[in-house]
């Protein structure tokens, strides 16, 4: 199975998946990293793991649709079976989602449907939530909305600082995301409507 990761920033989730592939925990080919920012640190991580990275500049395209068509063209050329969003800060068009129906996953640093969108950890912390966590879900054409594959909560205690909470969330992300990719590769994830079964 061929994997692709789409990222915009640091690429720590990309690195956790690349390391799992390298160790043989995920038995698949990590074909390519696509980024929408030329100076995304994720590109340096890709070079470290020997993964091809491609920068596609949104400024070169007149619309979201034409940009997504360019992304899809590359992914199809690479014969990608699973698209993994890892801090990719663009909303995918229905065209992209349809092109890889049930083959796009995303990770979100909250217990969806709570705290959709950006700055989810900070918003949960400031709201006074007793729990936050990590959600990995299939992508549909709404933001942070697709069927949930896996969730795990983190308790927010009064002793925790925002920085400590962020570190806990990221650590959990780096544990869960490779696991979900592994389960997908092994065809152990079954989706029926909004219900997702593992095993």
Domains and CATH numbers, the chain: 2-198 (3.40.50.170)
- Bond preceding residue 113 cis, omega within 30 of 0: yes
Has 108 been annotated as catalytic? yes
Q: Compute CA distances 92 → 21, 65, 88, 144, whole Å.
A: 26, 9, 10, 11
Give the rounded percent of residues in the chain with a pLDDT score beyond 90: 99
Structure confidence at residue 74 (pLDDT):
98
Structure confidence at residue 197 (pLDDT):
97
Residue 165 CA to residue 105 CA, distance in Å, equals: 24
Catalytic residue among 108, 145, 170, 174: 108
Structure confidence at residue 27 (pLDDT):
98
Residue 26 CA to residue 21 CA, distance in Å, equals: 5
Mean of pLDDT values over 60-67? 98
CA-closest candidate to residue 73, choices 53, 99, 51: 99
Give the rounded percent of residues in the chain with a pLDDT score beyond 70: 100
Structure confidence at residue 56 (pLDDT):
98
pLDDT in tens, 120-142: 999 999 999 999 999 999 999 89
The structure's pTM equals: 0.97
Structure confidence at residue 30 (pLDDT):
98
């Amino acid at each position: 199975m061929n994997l692709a990761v789409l990222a915009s920033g640091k690429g720590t989730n990309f690195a956790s998946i690349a390391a799992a592939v390298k160790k043989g925990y995920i038995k698949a080919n990590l074909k390519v990293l696509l980024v929408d920012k030329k100076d995304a640190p994720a590109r340096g991580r890709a070079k470290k793991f020997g993964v091809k990275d491609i920068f596609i500049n949104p400024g070169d395209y007149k619309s979201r649709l034409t940009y997504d068509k360019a992304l899809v063209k590359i992914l199809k050329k690479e014969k990608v079976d699973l698209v993994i969003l890892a801090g990719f800060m663009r909303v995918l068009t229905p065209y992209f989602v349809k092109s890889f129906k049930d083959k796009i996953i995303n990770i979100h640093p909250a217990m969806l449907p709570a705290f959709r969108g950006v700055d989810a950890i900070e918003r949960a912390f400031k709201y006074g939530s007793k729990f936050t966590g990590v959600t990995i879900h299939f992508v549909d054409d709404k933001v942070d909305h697709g069927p949930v594959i896996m969730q795990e909560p983190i308790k927010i205690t009064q002793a925790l600082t925002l920085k400590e909470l962020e570190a806990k969330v990221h650590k959990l992300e780096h544990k869960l995301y490779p696991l979900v990719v592994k389960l997908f590769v092994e065809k152990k994830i079954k989706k029926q409507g909004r219900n997702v079964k593992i095993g």
